[in-house]
Amino acid sequence: MMTRPLRLRPHPKAVSERLPNGDTVVVHLLTRQSFTLNATGSLIWAGLTDGLDLDGLAARVVAAFDVEPDVAAHDVQRLTQELLAEGLVDVVHD
């Protein structure tokens, strides 16, 4: 049985704003917690809103920051786990 790549999406109660310096502020409207994402995190967040799976997010990081694929995959995995733990993203079941 083949498994589909994991895809996440921003939680409906998470709103974000891109700042002029390239960071992104994400606010969870239910918990009222705010989180600031750096340039890499902002790129990953934008990819989540675009519907990319984890592999697609890592590929976008590689292209934007010229890092090794395994480093990008690790960074994506780490950040998405944090976003899941904070309730900022949901797993897409389709």
Mind listing the pLDDT tens digit for each residue in 73-84? 999 999 999 999
Listed residue (27, 50, 51, 39) closest to 79, CA to CA: 39
Structural element, H or E, at residue 59:
helix 54-65
pLDDT digits (tens, 9 = 90+) for 13-61: 999 999 999 999 999 999 999 999 999 999 999 999 999 999 999 999 9
In Å, how far from its chain's centre is CA 85?
12
Query: By the 8 A CB rule, do 47 and 57 touch?
Result: yes
pTM of the entire predicted model: 0.90
User: What's the chain's Rg over C-alpha atoms?
Assistant: 13
